[in-house]
A and B are shown apart, each in its own frame.
Chain A
Amino acid sequence: MSGFRLSTGGRIDRNTLLNVRFDGRRLKAHAGDTLASALMASGENIVARGFKYHRARGIYSAGAEEPNAYVHLRNESRLEPNARATTVEAFDGLISTSQNSWPDVRLDVGAVTGYISPFLSVGFYYKTFIGPFSGTRFWMFCEGFIRKAAGMGRGMKVDDPDSYDKVNAFCDLLVVGAGAAGLSAALTAGRAGADVILVEQDFELGGSLLSQPQRGETDDWLEKVKAGLKDLPNVRILTRTTAFGAYDEDVYGLIEHVSDHLQSPQNHQPRQRFWLVRTKQAVLATGAIERPLVFGNNDLPGVMLAASIQTYANRFGVLAGQRIVVSTNNNSSCQVAVQLAQAGADVTLVDARPHVCEVLAETLAKAGVAVLSGKAVICAKGRRKVVAAMIVPIDSCGKATGLAKRLDCDVIGVSGGWSPVVHLWSQRFGKPRFDEASASFVPDIRGRETVQCAGRMVAAQSLEDRINSGKSTAKSTLKALELKPSRKLHPKTPDTVLDTGWAKDIGTIWAIRDANDKTMGKAFVDIQHDVKVTDIDQAYREGYVSVEHLKRYTTAGMAPDQGKTSNIIALARMAELSGKTIPKTGTTTFRPPYTPVAIGALVGHVHGHHFAATRYSPVHDWHVENGAVMTEAGAWMRPWHYPEGEEVLRDAYIREATHVRAHVGIIDVSTLGKIAVQGPDAAEFLNRIYVNGWKTLQVGQLRYGVMLREDGFVMDDGATARLGDFDYFMSTTTANAAKVLAMSEHLLQTAWRDLKVHVTSITDQWAAFAIAGPKARDLLQLALSGAEISGEQMPNNHFVTGEIADTEVRLHRMSYSGELAYEVYVPSGFARHVWTALIKAGEAFDLRPYGTEAMGALRIEKGHVAGPEIEGRTTLKDLGLEGFASSKKPFVGSVLKGRPVLADPARETLVGLMITGEQGALPGSLIYSTNRPMQGHGEGWVSSTTWSPALGKNIALALVRKGKFRMGEDVQVVNHLENQSLTAQIVSPHFFDPEGARQNA
């Protein structure tokens, strides 16, 4: 092949020269070119190297089906691997480089693998590394090389500088594909007033009409239809947009390549836009892809799909070569041959069928096309490009019946029929149906009310048929949409002599072999993944007969092109070998995406900081302004510690915790889940959902409670206050707020519909601050007005309402730290006002804020359980909370908590660990007996750990088998990941002030 630009013709702007480079070489590119047409116009024969054997590869097609011409596009952070040159629109400044080759496509060192190719047979890696070498050092040694050799293109490891957008869209009718059928459908529906989205992957509308000669009858039709659509504001036209996926309930995924035809996105535009379209009806008019014929050296640069040669000539004004052989089995190639001859090429049509129909024969003869009937190309000759075709007479199966004759040429066009693009349809509805007449898989359209298929996709043949199928499918969607078709006439359908389609008289052959059924040289089924006919044969011999096995064993159809040209040939070969029909042999499953989709486009803005919502306490800014180091707690940001001077975390939390025990501290606990439980049956509801009793709780009181899951494990704990007769204020842990609310809603809306109760999340409406320490009451007595809070008037588990800084607040008395402690509840809008008022009032008492690390140390000293202990596998008994469970009433989980496995006395139970030495234990460390060998998972694990300021020791909470009965025992605390081994003594988890004298002060 040595392509060149014709002096006239083509839908390109010859006045605009673009700076386009391939491997550093400047190409002759105009606006309207693709990278592939520019490569061809510049005489670049070799654009890639084969995946396995590194054989030279040229441009094979002119569309999304391309198996060969994959390149690196752009460079540095915008480098994009596996860009299809055939669909990359040429732009000024385009830089492309070859991939899968070194140092260069023209001289590829990797090509030596061709000489060892007998060893690279199908299943080579499986057979070599499963068996004696599996998991050995030899495999480990080879793995690096194998992984390096695998895959195509090079990934980019720096951040993507571009942004991606996401759009949610709705419409009445989505039309996929803007060829003759799609355009007709869109015009019909648009004129009827439907809200239409028309999607086209190309940068121009027209589909295969763009491959027709310029200014012909078809162009006239195309221009009129385009003008008609432009007049319709209810038709949205998206070009450069691929519909890659069809999903349930008529949802479609589209990728709009907003800026991929530019060097970089402009004016804050995204690079790509991901559309999620929910439509009432869809017309799929996705066309068809030409199928290859398989013969020896059919991967040689210069072997191309026949119709793509026509596309390059008519659309881009590029002739792929001077002497063209077209090897075909169907009528669609006649038009190709005639138009190429008209463009000035010396064309020979090699038709596998014994006779060519008279009308066509006449036209071909008139155009000067030489016709050879009953023959096919059995082998391409040439080393780096086609120099000749070997042509043999064949029988109806593609086997040679005579000797091969050499015919010099520089391009071999192939056509083995066409495959309708059934991908989107099949993604939703399953396997397509094999249509014998057109020898192709078509949608099985029975009973699909919301999806219609039109045009070549349903093997409609002539242009008239395609246009009419677009119109009629659109009309049937209008019926469903309850719209009336407009009476306005469509442009007149052009009438072209050679507009034959492929179906009539197709002579179904797939691969051309010699009289002994052998291919002449390497004959590729999947050119992109280097899968040969002989590989399919081997898979068959080894029993990989099922299509899905065949695919995975040979990797046919598994490359980025997903076998758009190869799948059916592999299938046909397998059918031939097993003596079954093609439909009996089956077809592979089509899954999204149709063409590769950048993950970044699906991600859109949802990455980094925007990956998930961040929740902030209403006092967040104060913490940041006052030097808090923040930490993530689920979705929330919480103050971790407030370092002073050069303090690190350890210094800061020890100081903060010590301060709380000696003076008074304040911590923001606004992140606690808060749920309003309201209604006449609220007490009954609480009685059912908590393990403890609630009927005796009086207005003005609050109570700590524990909840189980339905299966009997502990779910959550927290305090609930009774604000009024029918009004309760529940608090949950920060982590489980959503779970508790969802479960409450579920029970109330399904099983307990008789209970008159509402649950409402009020987490965001209320801020909460805990004030803890010996001077907490003194401080609050100063800051709070309108309520008496002395020890007698306000004992533990009571609340009052009052005012702080003229703001109404509620004050709960409850301790988590083990100190005299209160929680101030204040409406979020006043949170910072009250917080700062408390900080100011606290100056006289040396009030200091403390963070979650100090809070953790304080609660571990008290043996209070939290997330690391309530982790979904622990029971009331395990945690020493069984005393809370009422035996007088049923509650959620009350029966299943008694299951034998949950009541087993050998279970791990909560204990304290007093660690020996200066080093603290790491959470997750395993507990081993000192007198037994250190084996397996040990006899328990460390859940929470801290250095205790109050005790001056490293302590930990742990769950240890039969822990309750092992007080005083010495154990080993081992962390295998960090190679740490400590000794510790099992003690009560209530390390500090076990009687609770301090909190009851």
Chain B
Amino acid sequence: MIRINCPVCGSRDENEFTYGGDANVVRPAMDEAETGPWLDYVFMRDNPRGPHREYWHHVMGCRQWLMLERDTLTHEIGDCILARGVA
């Protein structure tokens, strides 16, 4: 079972969270009118073997969207930060 160190709530079991997908994708600007960038944003994902930056939602806790690095091979969890705090 993955344990996630939520910056607000502390270390919690994974069943308090929902997986929010790849955090490397960047949502196009609202005024982006081309289809291509939106297709990339919605559908295109890498499937790396190793470290993967991803979103988790602390849905049973503080309801913050978190960003953390998970190793898809070992399930090791790296640093976890608030998604809103990403520079």
Contact = CB atoms under 8 A, between A and B. Distances in A.
Interface in A217-253: 247-249, 251
Contact of B3 (A249, A710, A890, A899): A249
A359 interface: no
Contact of A746 (B57, B75, B77, B82): B57
B54 to A, nearest CB: 12
A278 B63 CA distance: 23
Contacts of A749: 64-65, 82-84
A251 B65 CA distance: 24
Nearest to B21: A746
Nearest to A759: B63
Contacts of B38: 710, 895-896
B65 A249 contact: no
Given A742-B59, A749-B65, A749-B82, A688 B30 contact: yes
A753 B59 CA distance: 19
B77 to A, nearest CB: 7
A793 interface: no
A890 B39 contact: no
A276 B83 CA distance: 30
Given A750-B65, A895-B32, A895-B38, A251 B27 contact: no
A276 B15 CA distance: 13
A613 to B, nearest CB: 11
Contacts of A750: 27, 55, 65, 83-84
B24 to A, nearest CB: 12
Nearest to B26: A751
B34 interface: yes
A829 interface: no
A711 interface: yes
Contact of A898 (B35, B42, B75): B35
A673 to B, nearest CB: 15
A251 to B, nearest CB: 4
A745 B63 contact: yes
B75 A248 contact: yes
B31 interface: yes
B63 to A, nearest CB: 6
A248 B75 CA distance: 7
A899 B42 CA distance: 13
B20 interface: yes
B31 A742 contact: no
Contacts of A278: 3, 13
Contacts of A899: 35
A710 B20 contact: no
Given A749-B82, A749-B84, A750-B84, A710 B41 contact: yes
Nearest to B28: A895
Classify chain A's interface size: 20 to 34
A751 B64 CA distance: 14
A890 B35 contact: no
Contacts of B8: none
B18 interface: yes
Interface in A872-900: 890, 895-896, 898-899
Nearest to B63: A745
Nearest to A250: B3
B44 interface: no
Contacts of B63: 745
Interface string B62-87: 01110000000001110000111000
Contacts of A742: 18, 57, 59
B2 interface: yes
A199 B26 CA distance: 48
Interface in A102-146: none
Nearest to B32: A895
Contacts of B84: 749-750, 753
A251 B77 CA distance: 14
Which of A278, A895, A899: most chain B Cβ within 10 A?
A: A895
Contacts of B57: 742, 745-746
A249 B30 contact: no
Interface in B1-60: 1-3, 13, 18, 20, 26-27, 30-35, 38-39, 41-43, 55, 57, 59
Contacts of B76: 248
A746 B1 contact: no
Interface in A732-787: 742, 745-747, 749-751, 753
A898 B77 CA distance: 39
A248 B18 CA distance: 17
B7 to A, nearest CB: 13
Contacts of A249: 1-3, 75, 77
A248 B2 contact: yes
B8 to A, nearest CB: 12
Interface of B: 1-3, 13, 18, 20, 26-27, 30-35, 38-39, 41-43, 55, 57, 59, 63-65, 75-77, 82-84
Interface of A: 247-249, 251, 276, 278, 688, 710-711, 742, 745-747, 749-751, 753, 890, 895-896, 898-899
Given A248-B76, A745-B63, A890-B32, 14 more contacts: A249-B1, A251-B1, A251-B13, A742-B18, A742-B59, A746-B20, A746-B57, A746-B65, A749-B83, A750-B27, A750-B55, A750-B83, A750-B84, A753-B84
Give 4 nearest A-B pairs by CB, closest first. Answer: A751-B27, A249-B3, A749-B65, A251-B1
18 contacts: A247-B1, A249-B2, A249-B3, A249-B77, A278-B13, A710-B42, A711-B42, A711-B43, A742-B59, A745-B57, A745-B63, A746-B57, A747-B27, A750-B27, A895-B34, A896-B38, A896-B39, A896-B42
